[in-house]
Amino acid sequence: MALWPLSAVRAQLLSQDEIYSREFIYGVNFNTNGGLIGGVMFKISALRNTVKMRQYSTFGVEIVNVKHNKETRLNSFTGNSYIFNKVNYLYVIRPTYGRDIILFRKAPDEGVQVSAVIAVGASIGIEKPYHVLYQNIQDQSITSVPFDPDIHDPGQIVGAGNFLEGFQNASIVPGINAKLGFSFDFGAFKNSVTGFEAGFHYEAFTRKIELLQNPSSVAPISNRQFFSSVYLTIFFGTRK
C-alpha cells in the first residue's frame, strides 16, 4: 500500500515537468481556399492561468494566398500556363489574438497533447492585379500587362506574368477573421514542439474581392465577400 502514494507523487511530478510558460511555433498552412500551399503562420503563446496550468494567451500572424474556388489553369500556345480569367490575386495578413486550452496533456517524452484553439483578429487583404504575358498580334512583341477579359484575347496570352508585378497598383481591403480548431502536439522533448492543427476558418471583408472576371458580353462570375474554409497547419517550434 505504501507504494501507491509514491507512484502518485511521481506521476504528478512528471506532469509538472511538461508545464511550460511560453511557446513559439511556426508552420505551413493548407486550406480549401489556398490551393496546394495556403501560406505560413507564426504564433507566440504565454501561460495565462497559473493555477490549472492549462490555458494560454496566443498572439499569431498568418500570411496566406486566397484563391477563387473556380480557378482553372490553362496552357497557352507556347505551353506556358496561366489562370483563365483571373484578374486579381488576394493575399491576406491576419494578426490574431486567442486562446489555447489544453484538453489532454501528454506524458513526458511520449504521447500526444491535445488543445482546443480559438482565435479572432483583423484581416488585411491585399488585392493585387494578375499579370499575363501578352503578344501583340501586329509586331509580335510580348509585354506583361494586367489581364482584362474585355481587351485581351486568350489566344494571344503567352503565359503568366512575374509574381512581383502589380504591387504598386494593389488595393487594401480590410476585414475580420475567426477560427476554431484542435492542436495535436507530438513533440518528443519538453522544449520542442512538433505537430499539426486542424479546424474551421471564417473570414469577412468590407467588399467583394474581384478574383475572376468574365468578359462583359457573357454572364458574370460570382465573387465573394465572405470566405469559409477547412484548414490544416503543420507546425514546429520551441517552448520553455
CA distance linking residue 27 with residue 47, whole number of Å:
21
Query: What is the Cα–Cα distance from 41 to 25, expressed in whole angstroms?
Result: 8
Residue 51 lies in a domain: yes
H or E element at residue 101: strand 88-104
Q: Is 68 helix (H, G, I), strand (E, B) or coil?
A: coil
Residue 9 falls inside a structural domain: no
The amino acid present at 153, given as its one-letter code, is D
Predicted structure pTM score = 0.87
Rounded average pLDDT over 29-56? 89
Is residue 204 one of the residues assigned to a domain? yes
Check residue 195 and give its pLDDT. 95
State the pLDDT at residue 4: 46
Query: Is residue 108 scored above 50 in pLDDT?
Result: yes
Q: From CA 177, how far away is CA 122, in angstroms rounded?
A: 6
> Cα 113 from chain centroid?
23
Which SS3 state, helix, strand or coil, does residue 97 take?
Answer: strand
Instruction: Decide if pLDDT at 129 tops 50.
Output: yes
8 Å CB contact between 118 and 98: yes
pLDDT at position 23 over 80: yes
Residue 77 lies in a domain: no
Domains of the chain: total: 1
Mean pLDDT is highest, among 24-38, 41-55, 174-188, 196-210, for: 196-210
Among 221, 143, 233, CA closest to 194: 233
In a domain, 162, yes or no: no
Contact (CB, 8 A) for 55 and 179: no
Q: Is the dihedral of CA 238, 235, 196, 67 positive or negative?
A: positive
Can you give the pLDDT at residue 163? 86
* Residue 94 covered by a domain: yes
Query: What is the pLDDT, as a whole number, of residue 13?
Result: 45
Distance CA 203, CA 216 (A): 28
What residue numbers bound the domain in which 106 lies? 21-70+89-128+167-239
Between 189 and 194, the more confident residue is: 194
d(CA 45, CA 50): 14
* Interval 66-95: pLDDT, tens: 999 999 999 998 899 999 999 999 999 999
- 3-state helix/strand/coil string of 180-198: EEEEEECCCCCCEEEEEEE
- What CATH number does residue 214 fall under? 2.40.160.20
210 phi and psi angles, rounded to 5 deg: -80, 95
